[in-house]
């Protein structure tokens, strides 16, 4: 079965599941906040990375807002303990812009675009604040709780992960065996562009200033899992 046919099949299946599901994700709240914080940057970088005119970028952003709301409306409500809800909201926003671009982007340009659009001054400040908490007892306990939650077992748009602390005390690894971003990108027919989102892990870790990010595999590239390794900066 081709990827396009698989995407259609998945989309039909999730339409059926969501029609029976009690709660869908609400736009007001995190999705609306995401749009308010980042839409201007996403529009601006259409001109920088894709050489669109201001008028073209404005048109893409206007259509993307409608598409974004449509995508959000089809997503299930997340468990309140699920720390990865914003990851799927970010994915929905990028996907909405991709689907409204004049032409399908190549992976290299999209990777640069997503990193530039996301790394606003607000996001950089958030990363620095998160970096100060990295490797603290609270951070470790939070990672263990997330691993135990296994939200991906109940929500196909969430994640399952295992957590490993390095024996030498140099950091830890979060190893993901299911990925909500992979699911959503597959449903939207954009699976081949998923690695553009994966690369943001490096960018955010660097901005945090506390760890060096290392990875061998990603699910999106056909690996057995996504290994997210965080080594304490020396």
Could you read off the pLDDT of 54-106 as tens digits, one per residue? 999 999 999 999 999 999 999 999 999 999 999 999 999 999 999 999 999 99
Q: How confident is the model at residue 150 (pLDDT cuts 50, 70, 90)?
A: very high
Two structure tokens written together for 145: 């709780």
Residue whose token pair is 């989309």: 11
Kindly report whether the global pTM for this prediction surpasses the value 0.85. yes
pLDDT of amino acid 10: 52
CB atoms under 10 Å from CB of 112, counted, come to: 17
Instruction: Give pLDDT, residue 25.
Output: 81
Predicted local distance difference test score (pLDDT) of residue 189:
96
Contact (CB, 8 A) for 78 and 85: yes
Positive or negative: CA dihedral 120, 124, 130, 134: positive
The count of domains in the chain is: 1
Residues 71-81 pLDDT 10s: 999 999 999 99
Residue 234 is predicted with a pLDDT of 83
Rounded-to-integer distance, Cα 23 and Cα 48, Å: 38
For residue 35, what are the domain limits?
3-232
């Amino acid at each position: 079965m081709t990827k396009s046919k698989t995407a259609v099949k998945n989309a039909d299946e999730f339409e059926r599941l969501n029609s029976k599901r009690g709660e869908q994700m609400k736009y007001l709240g995190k999705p609306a906040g995401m749009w308010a914080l980042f839409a201007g940057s996403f529009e601006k970088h259409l001109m920088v990375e894709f050489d669109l005119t201001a008028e073209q970028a404005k048109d893409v952003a206007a259509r993307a807002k409608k598409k974004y709301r449509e995508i959000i409306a089809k997503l299930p409500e997340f468990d309140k303990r699920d720390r990865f809800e914003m990851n799927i909201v970010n994915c929905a926003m990028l996907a909405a812009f991709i689907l409204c671009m004049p032409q399908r982007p190549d992976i290299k340009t999209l990777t640069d675009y997503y990193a530039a659009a996301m790394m606003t001054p607000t996001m950089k400040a958030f990363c620095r604040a998160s970096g100060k908490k990295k490797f603290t007892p609270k951070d470790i306990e939070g990672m263990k709780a997330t691993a135990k939650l296994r939200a991906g077992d109940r929500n196909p748009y969430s994640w399952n992960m295992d957590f490993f602390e390095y024996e030498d005390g140099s950091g830890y690894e979060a190893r993901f065996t299911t990925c909500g971003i992979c699911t959503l990108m597959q449903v939207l027919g954009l699976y081949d562009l998923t690695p553009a989102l994966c690369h943001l892990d490096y960018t955010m870790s660097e901005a945090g200033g506390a760890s060096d990010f290392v990875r061998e595999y990603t699910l999106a590239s056909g690996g057995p899992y996504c290994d997210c390794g965080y080594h304490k900066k020396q």
